[in-house]
Structure 1
């Protein structure tokens, strides 16, 4: 059972790091390459909600 819990924690950490990478790295790069895509402006409300949960 402990092995399952450790595996679930590692998967949750990996998913969290991947989401942060996409928000902090990929979206700004897409915004720089495509001026019509306002992904950072669209993700700002979600980021404020997530930061209030922490």
Structure 2
């Protein structure tokens, strides 16, 4: 199974924002948390498109 990896360097402030965003969502690991975060973003975009 192909499983791409996301890898980037960010400053400490951006890393802290990343952790806060992921940790605000439930999940057993960061991949699950990221999925929930992306679902939230998709829902916000859909709502904005209908406004």
Task: Provide TM-score, normalisation by structure 2.
Answer: 0.43
Whichever structure has more helix as a proportion of its residues is 1
Largest Rg, 1 or 2? 1
